[in-house]
């Protein structure tokens, strides 16, 4: 299988290194502005491209792996589907459900696969947690506490400048909670504490999702 990668930062680097371990996969190209990734690609004999159009024109590729968020996901997926290229989208898919629906439709039209990765439904530990909850092995559920965090981007970190806590860790958690417990009755978000650490301001927030008779609590922390 011939594969190309799109992305920047450490997450894209993890994807690249993982794909290089598969004998059945040949990484034929990478689209990135990250100089560290470009150097690693050159060491491994991988061609660097600036745009998907160039990659499609000059390279025979079966699959593209979108490892980090892009600004025009629908445009990218449409371009790949029209070239009969399968898409692995391992990041936040889109800003609204309408755009996601269009991505799915265009891939169905051209009979290519669209594999969405921004979910915990395929993560072993979350699958096992759901199985234990559904089997009643932990008893009656009262409060669920999930803690997540990502570094807040700053002007010195241009690679991660567009990272967003809610998009990266909030949405997958909400999706898993809905998958496991169903739709909530209501919910709210509030900041409960602020503090400074290593020169940055931190905020801790809680999101409550109310079900009949009990609550879920999603815990998050971010820098500002």
In angstroms, the CA 111 to CA 98 distance is 20
Phi, psi of 216 (to 5 degrees): -105, 145
In angstroms, the CA 58 to CA 45 distance is 16
**Comparison of pLDDT for 186 and 110, the residue scoring more:** 110
Q: How many CA atoms lie within 13 A of 214 on its CB side?
A: 9
Structure tokens at 196: 């400074």
What is the per-residue DSSP string for 53-68? HHHHHH---SEEEE-S
- Mean pLDDT, residues 156-183 taken together: 64
Per-residue confidence (pLDDT) for residue 74, from 0 to 100: 87
Residue 71 sits at the vertex; the CA angle it makes with 67 and 75, to the nearest 5 degrees, is 90
Of 116, 118, 126, 122, the C-alpha closest to 177 is 126
Per-residue confidence (pLDDT) for residue 100, from 0 to 100: 83
Per-residue confidence (pLDDT) for residue 123, from 0 to 100: 82
- pLDDT tens, 108-151? 999 999 988 767 887 888 899 899 988 888 787 766 766 665 55
Q: Residue 224: is its pLDDT beyond 70?
A: no
- pLDDT tens, 16-61? 999 999 999 999 999 998 899 999 999 999 999 999 999 999 999 9
Per-residue confidence (pLDDT) for residue 151, from 0 to 100: 54
């Amino acid at each position: 299988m011939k594969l190309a990668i799109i992305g920047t930062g450490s997450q894209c680097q993890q994807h690249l290194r993982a794909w290089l371990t598969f004998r059945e996969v040949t990484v034929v190209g990478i689209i990135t502005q990250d100089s560290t990734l470009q150097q690693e690609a050159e060491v491994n004999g991988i061609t660097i491209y600036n745009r998907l159009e160039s990659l499609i024109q000059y390279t025979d590729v079966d699959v593209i792996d979108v490892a980090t968020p892009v600004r025009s996901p629908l445009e990218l997926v449409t371009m790949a589907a029209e070239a009969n290229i399968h898409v692995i989208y391992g990041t936040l898919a889109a800003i609204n459900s309408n755009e996601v629906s269009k991505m799915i439709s265009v891939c169905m039209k051209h009979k290519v696969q669209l594999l969405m990765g921004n979910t915990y439904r395929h993560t072993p530990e979350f699958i096992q947690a759901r199985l234990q909850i559904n089997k009643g092995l932990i008893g009656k559920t009262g409060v669920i506490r999930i803690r997540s965090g990502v570094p807040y981007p700053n002007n010195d970190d241009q690679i991660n400048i567009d990272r967003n806590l809610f998009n990266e860790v909030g949405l997958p958690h909400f999706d898993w909670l809905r998958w496991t417990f169903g739709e909530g009755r209501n919910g709210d978000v509030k900041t409960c504490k602020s503090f400074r650490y290593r020169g940055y301001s931190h905020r801790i927030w809680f999101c409550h999702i109310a079900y009949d008779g009990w609550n879920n609590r999603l815990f998050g922390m971010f820098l500002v």
